[in-house]
Chains A and B, each alone.
Chain A
Amino acid sequence: MNIENTKAQMRKGVLEYCILSILQNREAYPSDIIDELKTAKLIVVEGTLYPLLTRLKNAGLLSYRWEESTSGPPRKYYTLTENGKVFLAELDKTWDQLSTAVNKTTSKTSKK
């Protein structure tokens, strides 16, 4: 098994949750979302983001509006929908449970 693959799989699992989280209290351009994710080292290449955004939008969790830009083409400005907010709350709970469980498991193992 490829370590990079596994890492990517782990990151991939939480990526959607993180995107929804970023949009929790604000609207954001894709580039803003990218910047945050990059800072957190959650994504390496931007190309992975767009399919995700589109999928979340198609699932009704996100919506966007076009905003004219003075320099260049108009840009998408994403927000959470009501559904998205509900979804995010669910995921928050799930993450809490998950991270606790994982921490428990891994710390137990390393102790031995």
Chain B
Amino acid sequence: MNKTISANISGFIFNIEENAYQKLLKYLEFINSFFKSSEGGDEIVADIEARIAELFQERLSAGKQLITDIDIEEVIEIMGRPEQYNDSAFDEEEETSSTSSQSSDEHDADADPKTRNRRIYRDPEDKILGGVCAGISHYLGWDPIILRLIVVLAFFFAGTGVIVYILLWILVPEAKTTTEKLRMKGEKVNVENIRKKVSEEMDSVKDGVTNLANDAKRAGSKVSESTKRAASGMGDFFGIIGKVLLKLIGLFLLAIGVGILIGSVAGWVTIEEMVFNNADFDMIQDYVLHDTGIPSMVFVGIFMVLASIIIAFIWKGLKILLDIKTNVKGMGLGLFGIFIIGLIICVVSGVTIGRSYSWQEDIPARQTLDLVPGDTLYVNVSEDDRFNENYRWDRQDSPFALMEVSDGEIHMGTSTQMYFDLIDSGKVEIWVNKSACGRSRAQATTFADDIRFDWRVDSNVITLPPYLSVPESDRWKCQEVEIEIEVPRGVYVKMSEHASRIYSHHRADGKLRYVPDEGRLDWEYID
């Protein structure tokens, strides 16, 4: 099935096949330019067109309502093929035709761009998008592929090529008439060349018609012959612009999808490293999430949300870029469904998890020591090689950094902290605070109470355990132990090296200096 164009010539309306229309158009262009300079040229052209209309009329009937390619061929034969116009009864052209036969050897103008007087047009016959590259290449005498490559490269450098190309597309005129096409290539504009050009174009139209028949499927994103020849003018321009924009959008979507994917992976790795300190994932699962009754659901939810977004973006992007036509049934709906469900799961489980940590309760305990200025306070840590001695005990680490489960208890090495507090006068006081979180106040209190931190005081020796322990069934409820020791001035504090390593020297105020060889802390009195 072919497209039909409704046209009129000399006031006579007729229907004509698309290919035939193009042929007729070219022929009329030739006639026009041929008689342009003749005296009464307009009238001659009008007469010819009127005659053509008559010929069309003769050929149309009730049974045949369409002017076809064959009709145009016949009409052109009748009216005279362009080459015949050269050697027939045309007085004015006689002089030029004799000179044009001499200059026929010079028509190979593309080879010598410098001596020709040529102008820049857009080439409608050799265009991929708008014929900008082809047209300018004629002017420069290059192969159009060079300019095209440059444009593509420029596109990758912040898309500068696109703006320039579009500007040129708008500003540079298209070589429509035969004269313009000859000027574009720098060939001499005379009858001989016009004739040659027109007959070339007639041949290529013939070829194009054959190609159209063969052009069954459109593969990939290449603008096919049929699109090139069939569309024309502004409609084509916007169509191509739309295509380019679409491709850009496709690329953008793909980039977003890949970006989210990379971001998620990177984010997970970071979280794993910073928050969990590469701790066993199962441990986290068991001791953080299990109590909430929705084991690891939150991870499933996050995964669903991210996966659906990533897949959607990457798939859409690839589809546009590579012109993939196949549509996976229900993909859009399915992905959206997964996204929504994943989102719901995330929200619900997130809220649930959060609730189990919404309350925090403290259980303090204190004890006073009977020391006076001049006495020495010893702070020791009970021997326990559970956690590696060489590990740098740093409060900044997450609670999961030193976490071990054994004998039905969870032992947490980084959930304890000790402060020294310098006071002017008074007694030495040790203040140990156990805190935990829970779903409710009561639960938080219970969890805090469950913390086992066996410390003791013997006259002037404070002995602290290196870590706290909670029943395994309690799971991680941000259990913490905070120790504060008030020391009046004048009292010396001596910490074993073991102790000072386990409990780093954070203090509330005053200046504290650890004296390594003597194994003691020294106050720097600020007066």
A residues whose Cβ falls under 8 Å from a Cβ of B: 2, 4-5, 8, 11-12, 15, 30-31, 43-48, 50-55, 57-58, 71-73, 75-76
Contacts and interface: CB of A to CB of B under 8 A. Distances in A.
A73 B90 contact: no
A51 B44 contact: yes
Considering residues B12, B31, B40, B88, which has the most beta carbons from chain A within 10 angstroms of its beta carbon? B88
6 contacts: A47-B31, A48-B85, A51-B44, A54-B44, A72-B12, A76-B50
Interface in B281-295: none
Nearest to A4: B87
Interface in B29-75: 31, 35, 38-40, 43-44, 47-48, 50-51, 53-54, 57
Contacts of A15: 89
B50 A73 contact: yes
List of 6 A-B pairs having minimum Cβ-Cβ separation, nearest first: A45-B80, A47-B80, A12-B89, A50-B47, A54-B40, A73-B11
A50 B90 contact: no
B81 interface: yes
Given A45-B78, A55-B40, A72-B12, A31 B90 contact: no
Contacts of A8: 87-89
Interface size class on chain B is: 20 to 34
A36 to B, nearest CB: 15
Contacts of B44: 50-51, 54
Contact of B38 (A12, A47, A51, A57): A51
Interface of B: 10-12, 31, 35, 38-40, 43-44, 47-48, 50-51, 53-54, 57, 77-81, 84-85, 87-91
A43 B88 CA distance: 9
B405 to A, nearest CB: 102
Contacts of B31: 47
Nearest to B50: A73
Given A8-B89, A51-B90, A30 B47 contact: yes
Contacts of A45: 77-81, 84, 88
A72 B40 contact: no
Contacts of B54: 31, 72, 75
Contact of B53 (A46, A57, A73): A73
Contacts of A44: 80, 84, 88
B79 to A, nearest CB: 4
A73 B79 CA distance: 18
A46 B51 contact: yes
Nearest to A5: B87
A72 B56 CA distance: 10
B57 A51 contact: no
Nearest to A16: B89
B53 A50 contact: no
B100 to A, nearest CB: 13
Contacts of A2: 87
B274 to A, nearest CB: 87
Considering residues B11, B38, B40, B77, which has the most beta carbons from chain A within 10 angstroms of its beta carbon? B40
Contacts of B40: 51, 54-55, 57-58
B265 to A, nearest CB: 74
A47 B12 contact: no
A71 to B, nearest CB: 6
A47 B87 contact: no
B89 A75 contact: no
A20 to B, nearest CB: 14
Given A30-B47, A45-B81, A75-B50, A11 B89 contact: yes
A47 to B, nearest CB: 3
A94 B39 CA distance: 27
A37 to B, nearest CB: 11
Contacts of B57: 71-72
Given A5-B87, A75-B54, A47 B79 contact: yes
Contacts of A51: 35, 38, 40, 44, 89-90
B39 A30 contact: no
Nearest to B89: A12
Nearest to A58: B40
A7 B89 CA distance: 11
A53 B47 contact: yes
Nearest to A38: B78
A30 B10 contact: no
Contact of B90 (A4, A30, A48): A48
B113 to A, nearest CB: 33
B35 to A, nearest CB: 7
Considering residues A46, A48, A50, A55, which has the most beta carbons from chain B within 10 angstroms of its beta carbon? A50
A52 B88 CA distance: 11
